[in-house]
């Protein structure tokens, strides 16, 4: 392929990052499913809910943090509710909205999965990095994250509490 002006070392770094990340994510999901009957999506939902006050989060907020589309989250929460990991409750403050709420069973499932999962991550990735590498990793990807947030489609880079979203000429 013809990519004339691109510095080869940057391209090589990009491709190494891209390929190993895809491989890592795939294996992560396989490992989680094999040891805990949880997908990576399940795990991530449980993790975010467990860190939220009262173990509950608005659907939209949860979707934004997971980087899920609204309908994907609806599907995901339905599936988890069927399995007893979360329940969906109508929101009192704003009756348009719903909240996903962590159940005791969900908390147990997360607790059970977390230790082997983190051990796997450590063994597969983190443990192999020295202090300097960890620092560079954090530095590079923290900056990437702000860059991506700053250029989001309907952006307001800094809206910690509630909705952002801008529906332009859509409907």
Partner DNA sequence: CAAGATTGAGCCATCAATCTTT
Partner DNA sequence: AAAGATTGATGGCTCAATCTTG
Cα separation of 54 and 68, whole Å?
Answer: 22
Cα separation of 120 and 169, whole Å?
Answer: 45
Instruction: Give Cα 81 distance to the centre of its chain.
Output: 19
Q: Categorise residue 91: left if φ over 0, alpha if ψ from -120 to 50, beta otherwise.
A: beta
Contacts of DNA in 148-167 (CB under 7 A): 162-163, 165-167
Contacts of DNA in 81-110 (CB under 7 A): 88, 91, 94-99
Give the nearer residue to a copy of itself in terms of CB position, either 20 or 78. Answer: 20
Please, what is the minimum distance in Å from the beta carbon of residue 52 to DNA? 13
- Listed in sequence order, the residues at least 6 apart from 158 whose beta carbon sits closer than 8 Å to its beta carbon are none
Stretch near DNA under the rule CB under 7 A, chosen from 2-10, 15-23, 70-78, 137-145 = 70-78
Residue ranges in contact with DNA by CB under 7 A: 39, 41, 58-61, 63, 68-79, 88, 91, 94-99, 162-163, 165-168, 171
């Amino acid at each position: 392929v013809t990519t004339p002006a691109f510095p080869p070392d940057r391209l090589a770094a990009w491709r190494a990052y891209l390929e190993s990340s895809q491989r890592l994510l795939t294996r992560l999901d396989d490992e989680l499913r094999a040891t805990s009957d949880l997908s990576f999506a399940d795990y991530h939902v449980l993790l975010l809910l467990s860190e939220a006050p009262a173990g509950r989060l608005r659907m939209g907020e949860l979707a934004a943090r997971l980087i899920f589309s609204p309908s994907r989250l609806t599907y995901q929460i339905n599936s988890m509710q069927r399995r007893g990991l979360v329940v969906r409750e109508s929101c009192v403050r704003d009756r348009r909205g719903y909240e996903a709420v962590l159940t005791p069973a969900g908390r147990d499932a997360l607790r059970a999965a977390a230790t082997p999962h983190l051990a796997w991550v450590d063994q597969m990735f983190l443990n192999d990095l020295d202090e300097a590498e960890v620092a560079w990793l954090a530095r590079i990807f923290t900056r990437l994250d702000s860059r991506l947030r700053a250029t989001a489609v309907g952006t307001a880079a800094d809206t910690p509490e509630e909705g952002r979203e801008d529906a332009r000429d859509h409907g």
